[in-house]
Amino acid sequence: MSKRSVEKSWELHERAIKVVPMATQTHSKAPRQALREVEPCFLVRGDGCRVWDVDGNEYIDFRNGLGPVSLGYAYPSVNEAVARQLQDGVVFSYSHPLEVEIAERLVDIIPCAERVRFLKTGGEAMAATHRLARGFTGRDHILTCGYHGWVNSMGKGVPTPTKSTYTALPWGNIDAFQTAIDAQGADNIAAISVACDYAGVEQGHQFLPALRTMCDRIGAVLIFDEIVMGFRLRRAGAQEYFGVTPDLAVFAKGISNGVPLSTYLGRADIMDAVEKVVISSTFGGDTLGLAAAGAVLDIYEQEDVIGELWARGEQLHTGFAALAESQGVEANFAGLPPVGMLQLPDGVDRLQFEGACLNRGVITFSVYYPSYSHSEADIDEALGAMGAALQQIMSDPA
C-alpha cells in the first residue's frame, strides 16, 4: 500500500530538537526513530475521535491526548463553556465562584470527597496528597503502586533522602506491602498511594479492600490515583467501581476533557491540614479548566458517557480478538473496555504494529482509550485498519 507522507512532521521535529529537549514536553510523546516513515510528530487539530497532523493526514485516535480527551476533541459544549469564560477572564486576584461550584459537585459524586482543591497537573496533585499525608500523620514513608507523575519519584535528580522515603511496590501483591511495612515499621508509614494497573485491573476487587484494611490497621492514609480511572471506569473512578473509599484521591485527565485541571480531594480532617502543609499555586483556581469541568460534569450527568466508553471499548476488544483469531494470531486486549491494553504474541514488536496502524490512519499505543466521540462506525473502521496492520506485521515481521 502507498505510504502517507509525514515529511513536514519530521522537518518540524528537526527544528524542535534544536530548541526543545526531546522535541516534546511529555516523554511518551517523543517521536520514535523506528517509526520515522509513519509517525506524525505534530498534530494540529482534532474533532471528535479524529485528529489531523501537520502534513494533513487524518487519524482515528485511541491515545486521546494520553487519556484526558474522554468526550472527544473540540467537544462543542466544553468549547462553548471555555469560550464563554474566556470573555470574563482566566485568573483573578481573589477566588472565583466556579471553585465552589465545581467542588460542591465533586463532593456530591465522589465517595471520598468531603473537601476539594484544584491544581493543574496530575503529578503535582499526587505530590500534594503525599505532602498532606505526611503533614497529617507526622510520618515520612510512602508505599506507592503505579505511576504518579514525575514529581519526587521519577528519574535522576531526586535527592537520596527523598527517594528513601518511597517504596514502589507491585500491583496486586498485598504480601509485598506487608513486607515493606515490616521493614519500615508501621509507625513510619504515612500513606499507601495506588494507581490501578491496566491489564490486571480486576485484581482490584481483592487488592484495594486489602489495602483499605491495611491502612486502617496501621493508621496510614489511603490515596487513590484516579487520574486515568476517574470519569472513565466510572465517574468516580476506581473507588466507585470497586466500592472502596480511600482517604484522599486525585482526578485529572477525564474531568475536564483535556483542558488542564487536576483536583485532590478527600477526608475533611486531612484536607484541612493544607493550611499548615502549604500547597498553593497561582493557577490552582484557573477558571478555564473549571468551566470545562462544569460542562463535562453536565454531560456525564445528562448522558450515559460511561456506558458508551464501556460499549465502544467492548466493541474494540471483541472485534480485535475475532480478527486475530480469524488470522490464527494469539492477540487480544487485557483489562477493562474503557482502558484496554493490547497484548500481541511473544516476539511481535508492538512498535511495528503501531507503525502499520499509523500508516492506515489509526493512532494506537500500549493503552487504548475509547472516547465518547468514537461511534460504532469509527470503531469498525479502526478495526479494519488494525486487522490489516496485524496481517501485515505477522506476514512480514521486522
Ligand X SMILES: Cc1ncc(COP(=O)(O)O)c(C=O)c1O
Residues that bind ligand X (CB under 6 A): 66, 121-123, 126, 146-149, 195, 225, 227-228, 252
Handedness of CA 143, 147, 152, 158 (dihedral sign): positive
Q: Which is nearer to ligand X, 149 or 204 (CB)?
A: 149
* Phi and psi at residue 255, to the nearest 5°: -65, -25
In the complex, least distance from residue 26 CB atom to ligand X, rounded to whole angstroms: 7
Cite the DSSP H helix spans in 50-203. 76-88, 97-109, 122-137, 160-163, 174-184
Q: Which is nearer to ligand X, 122 or 313 (CB)?
A: 122
Q: How many CA atoms lie within 13 A of 32 on its CB side?
A: 13
Q: Which is nearer to ligand X, 225 or 240 (CB)?
A: 225
Cα–Cα dist 246/112, whole Å? 6
The string of DSSP letters for 235-285 reads TTHHHHHHT---SEEEE-SGGGTTSS-EEEEE-HHHHTTHHHHT---TTTT
Q: Which long-range contacts (CB under 8 A, 24 or more apart) does 83-92 make?
A: 84/291, 85/287, 85/288, 85/290, 85/291, 86/288, 88/287, 89/287, 90/286, 90/287, 90/288, 91/282, 91/283, 91/285, 91/286, 91/287, 92/285, 92/287
In the complex, least distance from residue 171 CB atom to ligand X, rounded to whole angstroms: 12
Residue 200's CB: how many other CB atoms inside 10 A? 15
Q: Which is nearer to ligand X, 141 or 148 (CB)?
A: 148
In the complex, least distance from residue 124 CB atom to ligand X, rounded to whole angstroms: 7
Q: Which is nearer to ligand X, 262 or 373 (CB)?
A: 262
In the complex, least distance from residue 99 CB atom to ligand X, rounded to whole angstroms: 19
Q: Which is nearer to ligand X, 153 or 359 (CB)?
A: 153
Q: Which is nearer to ligand X, 316 or 367 (CB)?
A: 367
In the complex, least distance from residue 227 CB atom to ligand X, rounded to whole angstroms: 4
Beta bridge partners of 250: 225, 264
In the complex, least distance from residue 251 CB atom to ligand X, rounded to whole angstroms: 10
In the complex, least distance from residue 145 CB atom to ligand X, rounded to whole angstroms: 10
Q: Which single residue brings its beta carbon nearest to ligand X?
A: 122
